[in-house]
Amino acid sequence: MGRLRWYSNEISIFLPWESFLTSCMSLINSCNPSVRRCMATNKPSPDWRELQQQWAAAIRAPNQGSLPGVEPRRLAVYQRLVFNNIDSFISRGFPVLRQLHNEQQWQQLIYQFMQQHAAQSPLFADIGREFVAFAQQTLPAVWAQLAQYERMEVDALYAEVDYQLLHATNAAAEPAPSANELLDRVQFRVNPSVQLGVFQYPVQQVSAANPQPPAAAEPVCLVVYRELTSQPHWQQHEAVKFMQLTPLTMVLLETLQQANGSTLRAALASLQPYAVGYQPEQLAQALVTVVEGLMQRCVLFLAPE
């Protein structure tokens, strides 16, 4: 799929460039001579700006009238292309949320997104993030949080990874360090695909059979990550997974993520307020067990020395 510069403002919504240029030529041929002269001379024109505004409005709301000077059949093709591109992208990025709506409900939601949301980015790749922002203002709380969770999965899948550094971190784990080394000597790096989220609802349990579970008694702390290999051809070999965490483990990962290379001992000061009832050495030993489990699941790696 081509790169889309997608604007949700007063000017325009653009398709991938090939479709955009084809549609532009059809529409320009339908425009009045003054607009064509403006295009040919590349000079700003109030007529051209007004046409853009009318065009964008007609694309967003195809049932609210035609575009003056443009054959309805041609405009309908462009309306379909824009809607189908946005619908396809959002449907693939939010598959569970899509299952919770029938066809009519989903189409209405996409049109509502196109018509009401003021996007902050013009890039095709950011449509998913824009939809999450729209969902926070539009959908029931549990579904808005589901949208956020599903976007975390997409971000984990496409996170950039330095595979040379990953190879070095794998080498650093051999032989396996002792408990004392894990605590005081080695430094940890968080899997670069890791996405952390705290939710009021058990969003990982939402499905067509369980569309609106009740709010959880405690915050639901989730990590979503890609199970990295040492090979750069991750599309074929790496799966996106999730794990529910305790609040303490969540803070540990946040601390290590921000430090971008830290010993476990150095992280203890940040964790002690969240470990009521633990003495420092008790907490240290408990964390060694935690990080061993996180390393086995490819959430944490040892930083090369």
- Residue 242 — φ and ψ, nearest 5°? -135, 165
- Are the C-beta atoms of residues 287 and 268 closer than 8 Å to each other? yes
Query: What tokens does 71 get?
Result: 């054959």
Give, as one character, the DSSP assignment of residue 124: G
- Mean pLDDT for 27-55 is 60
Decide which of 288 and 54 is more confident: 288
Query: What does the alpha-carbon distance between residue 150 and residue 93 come to, in Å, rounded to a whole number?
Result: 7
Domains belonging to the chain, first-starting first, are 17-139 (no CATH), 160-302 (3.90.930.50)
- Quote the pLDDT of residue 23: 47
The number of angstroms, rounded, from the C-alpha of 164 to the middle of its chain's C-alpha atoms is: 25
- Provide the edge-to-edge strand list for the sheet that holds 195-199: 195-199, 220-226, 240-245
Cα gap 6→204, rounded to integer Å: 30
The DSSP result for 248-296, as a single string, is HHHHHHHHHHHHTSB-HHHHHHHHGGG-TT--HHHHHHHHHHHHHHHHH
Nearest-angstrom CA–CA distance, 167 and 161: 11
The DSSP secondary structure of 180-247, one letter per residue, reads HHHHHT--EEE-TT-EEEEESS-GGG--SSSSSPPPPSS-EEEEEEE---SSS-HHHH--EEEEEE-H
Q: What is the pLDDT of residue 123?
A: 87
**pTM for the model:** 0.80
Look at residues 73, 69, 52 and name the one whose alpha carbon lies nearest to residue 9.
52
Cis? peptide before 247, omega within 30° of 0? no
6 pLDDT higher than 50: no
| The predicted structure's pLDDT at residue 144 | 99
Write down the pLDDT at residue 42: 56
What is the reported pLDDT for 17? 34
**Looking up tokens 């030529």, which residue turns up?**
25
- CA pair distance 67, 15, nearest whole angstrom: 18
What is the structure's pLDDT at 138?
Answer: 97
Summarize pLDDT for 194-219 with one digit per residue, the tens: 999 999 999 999 999 999 999 999 99
- pLDDT, one tens digit per residue, over 79-135 is 999 999 999 999 999 999 999 999 999 999 999 999 999 889 888 889 999 999 999
- Distance, CA of 237 to CA of 232 (rounded, Å): 9
* pLDDT of amino acid 4: 34
User: What pLDDT score does 101 carry?
Assistant: 98
